Amino acid sequence: MTGSPTRIRQYSNATVLRIRSSFGARLLGALLALVVLVAGTLLLFVHGQTEEQVRVVTARSAYIADRAFEEFEELHRVQLARLGRAFTGSRRTLAALEAVLESGEPGWLIETARYELELARAGSSVAAFTDSEGRVVATLIDDEPAAGDPAGATTLAREVLDGGPPSLVRYRVVGGRLFTVLIERVELGGRAIGTIMLGMPVDEQVARHMADAAGVEVCFVAGGECFAGTIAAGSTMATRLAAVAPGSAWMFTDNGSRWVLHAEPVADETVEVRRVIAVPVDDVLAPFGRIRRVLAWTSLVAVAAAFGLATLLSHRLAGPVRELVVATRRLARGELRTRVPVCGTDELATLARSFNEMAEDLALKERYRDVLKKVVSREIADDLVSGELRLGGEVRTVTAVFGDIVGFTHFASRNDPATVIAVLNEYMTAWSRIVEEEGGIVDKYMGDAIMAVFGAPVSHADDAERAVRMALRMREATARLNAQRAARGLPGLELAIGIATGPAVAGNVGSPDRLNYTVIGDTVNLASRLCDAAGGGDILVSDATRRSVHDAVRIAPAGERMLKGMPHAVPVYAVEPRRAAESTPFVRGNGRIASAVSVGLIAVTLVFAPTQSHAQDRWPGLPTLSGLGLNWISPSGTFQVDLSGQLDIEGYLPPRSPASLIPDVDPFVAGRMRLFADLFATDRVYGMLELRVDHGEVPAAADVEARIEQAFVRVAPFGGVPLRMQAGKFALPFGGWAARHHTLDDPLIRPPLAYDYRTLVSPTVVPAAAGGFLGWKDEATTRRPNGAPQVWSVPYPWGAMVSAAAGPVTAHAAVMSASPSSAPEQWSFDSGRFRKPSIVLGAAWQVVPELRIAGAFDRGPYLGGVESGLLPAGKESDDFVQEIWNAEVVFRRGRTTLRGEAFIDRWEVPNLDDDPRDISWYIEGVHGLTAGLDIAARWSEIRFPTLNAGGLTGEWDHDVGRLQIGAGYWILRNTGVKIETMLNRTSGPDQRDNLFAIQWWWAF
């Protein structure tokens, strides 16, 4: 009997007031006026004394809280300064920042920052890095990369870089939390290369310290929201604290306790942050409360006397009213048959007849409501009875759910109608109860299907989550009913469910005499189609529903599907799929190798993981050159020399034949040490010298040799203009892998296939006749070792380069002495090679912080001294060129990086009318499981199209594909291990390139 007791009580109270004696009312009013006059005078005096005491207590508490906050503020400054020194004092951190400013690749910087923060046990923190213009290049929030500039680092960076102090301490609201941030200018060689911002949260610990010191409740407020405090978020007190303006103070009552609120601004020029305290004043007000109670009791005695006098005068009128009150209470308890006797024809008799008519109307409405609740939801039934529903509708965001029994037609055909109805009612009863318990309504029953709606006519903030939770409970209820029926030897039913979220028209459809409340629209149609596409026990949801549910349940992509009535394929998602998809081995025939690699990765992790935190606590890292004080800076700061290096020890296990450019077959260990000297002269000149000691350019078990790998000078001639010129011996600026080879940004050991495979094109042997070239692939064991690779890993020729940047776009152009496929013996300086040099062009566009697109082109001669075969008349070896195009896409989000490169390569081969071409590509994914542990996988292919040579046609080489799986683990700050397996397949008989490798590295 929803709503009836309230209406009955209101009716009864109004009746009592109408029958009171006018004489008694006037007498009562005069007595009450006298009582109010005396009590009011005394209360005004007490109130003034109360306010004075409250002001004194509030001021004392505010002073103590301010001192406690200043203590924590100083502590944060010291901690941030110490953390800042850990970053600015790390040569590797500065090198990582310099590298991302040059290449636009923040991966190494992000991992280095993660490692420093984990080492410092920073916990919840903010770290942001900017360039010398104040543009953000990387941001970490709670150890996760963040896009854009959520920490507001740009504004503070420009303040520091534009002649301001070298460091600032400010407050920032980041990700719904308040942080104390320190931003410092980063200088290298006396020049500012950017800034580092570090932040620590102002959390409940700070608030609790203030609260304990002053005996108050505390909340930090910014933007009208309480970010950290001693009060539960969302409570009434937290809402009141967030609304207090600076400098104001006012009192309120919460859960029977009285508080005075006081707000003070936190010292900051850019963000409005307030410290708000709630001072308990019950102890202060207690004496005055006792005085008020005495006055209240005195007033009550006077009022009671007045009422007694009035009652004596109106007693004879109260009998019928008492009977009416008793009847009203019985009616409020649901006794709708209650009636009062009607005696006489006066006003009291009229009142009794009105009461009886009201009771009859209420009984009739309850019978109507009970009937309606059996065909519509409770909310709609109440609105229909109240007369509030009309024809028409409104657009609302709803979640529509369709549930359909799979195979019901077959079930119905094998059972009699009575059994079918009984079973259907059994299941529908359980499902309908779940719908109502989750806050939805059953819109209708459609034979063996049920339609439920969340969001109309009553909406909740979590309607989609309620709908998915309801679907899971319906599936569980179906399983329980099936188990019960199975125990009786009866078949069960399977339920398919479809859920969609979005706008729909909700309202009444029909005629004024007969209407039906429902929802219609594309959202409802989509839910119905998802239900049709679902199998027994499946729950399929739309993309909008998946996004609304967030992480409340596990939802897996189920692909795009063409649904009936839909103009295009729709993305479909499955809630907690019960059957795991069967996985197909990626490389057949290598199950033992893959298992061995998996066991190896797990073993490496288990061996080193337990020692990581312990080793870091005792010894943050192995020695470094900068830590030994070997770097040099001139007294003026104009000149600087930094020394660093890296040692790599690699072990290889080729199964049967040499792998790509690796010449050895038997297991061997190869070492590589590189020493770097970075030279800075002012902020416009930079030089780099790399000395390399190893067994040769490719890993091998050979004699140790030493050589100068890189030696170049880079000049920024126009100061702030992003234009640089570089000359000397340096890595060929072609392809995306050049910037990250032999670095910690790549957890795999061997290069992608396009950088690490020999074709049958030879730089020293040319075909004597066109037709003979097609037969070379059948002599791969003798021809391939002398072939020219697409790109020889990363060549280091001599040359000059110009690079420039405009916003998110960078570009470069270079003139080099060797082509991408040139062998190491062609990288030495020879002025004759610049007669017809290799031309390199490249550009990159940072579309968004997560997405980078790049492309490159190279054209230049690849033949060396021809040892066999004849060149055409009038031709020289440098007349034949290699032309190669490259495209790269990099996507980063959180700890995951996806990357892909594609190449189109053309060779001009002597004595051939048709130019051989090859097409290659690779895709790879890298994911950081934890700080210091990365896993990676890469798939590469090279395809050799058909060639027309001497009237013969055919593929001029065998297609090849390669799978690489590996992991990298940082044991300490500057040392770690990598492990990798490489599996290969070809379209011809030449099976090769299978390889297992492990590497230990030490950056010093």
- At 661-676, the pLDDT tens digits run 887 777 889 899 999 9
Helices (H), 517-567: 522-533, 543-549
> Of residues 209 and 706, which shows the higher confidence score?
706
What is the predicted pLDDT for the residue at 905? 96
> Taking a C-beta distance cutoff of 8 angstroms, is the pair 671, 695 a contact?
yes
In the numeric block, which tokens belong to residue 840? 């390199």
CA angle 276, 282, 283 (to 5 degrees): 115
What is the predicted pLDDT for the residue at 587? 32
* Nearest by Cα to 1003 from 562, 575, 623: 623
Q: Give the containing element (helix H, strand E) for 919.
A: strand 917-930
> Taking a C-beta distance cutoff of 8 angstroms, is the pair 798, 817 a contact?
yes
> Of residues 637 and 890, which shows the higher confidence score?
890
What is the predicted pLDDT for the residue at 375? 47
pLDDT of 840 higher than 90: yes
pLDDT of 737 higher than 70: yes
- At 980-996, the pLDDT tens digits run 999 988 887 765 668 89
| 3-state SS assignment for residue 905 | strand
Helices (H), 334-416: 347-372, 378-386, 408-413
For range 960-974, the mean pLDDT: 88
- Tell me the one-letter amino acid at 598: S
pLDDT of 362 higher than 80: no
- At 943-964, the pLDDT tens digits run 999 988 777 888 888 899 999 9
Name beta bridge partners: 483: none
> Of residues 7 and 702, which shows the higher confidence score?
702
Distances (CA, A) of 389 to 384, 538, 708: 6, 36, 87
pLDDT of 42 higher than 50: yes
Question: Side-chain half-sphere of 781: how many Cα atoms within 13 Å?
Answer: 5
> Taking a C-beta distance cutoff of 8 angstroms, is the pair 398, 519 a contact?
yes
Sign of CA dihedral 29, 31, 35, 40: positive
User: How sure is the predictor about 596, in pLDDT bands with cuts at 50, 70 and 90?
Assistant: very low
- Pairing assessment for the beta strands 995-1003 and 639-653 based on DSSP bridges: antiparallel
Share of the chain above pLDDT 90, in %: 24
* Nearest by Cα to 559 from 568, 572, 547, 574: 572
Cβ-count burial of 246 within 10 angstroms (0-12 exposed, 13-18 middle, 19+ buried)?
A: middle
pLDDT of 342 higher than 70: yes
pLDDT of 612 higher than 50: no
> Taking a C-beta distance cutoff of 8 angstroms, is the pair 524, 504 a contact?
yes
* Nearest by Cα to 572 from 626, 534, 616: 534
Sign of CA dihedral 327, 331, 335, 336: positive
What is the predicted pLDDT for the residue at 25? 56
> Taking a C-beta distance cutoff of 8 angstroms, is the pair 427, 406 a contact?
no
User: How sure is the predictor about 653, in pLDDT bands with cuts at 50, 70 and 90?
Assistant: confident
Return the beta strands (E) in 807-913 as ranges: 809-816, 838-848, 851-861, 881-893, 896-907
What is the predicted pLDDT for the residue at 461? 86
> Of residues 817 and 747, which shows the higher confidence score?
817
Helix and strand counts by DSSP (H, E) for the chain: 18, 38
What is the predicted pLDDT for the residue at 288? 64
pLDDT of 383 higher than 60: no
- The DSSP code sequence of 121-183 is T--S-EEEEEETTS-EEEEEETTEE-SS-TT-HHHHHHHHHTTS-SEEEEEEEETTEEEEEEE
The model scores a pTM over 0.95: no
Distances (CA, A) of 392 to 381, 445, 508, 927: 17, 22, 5, 53
Sign of CA dihedral 875, 877, 882, 883: negative
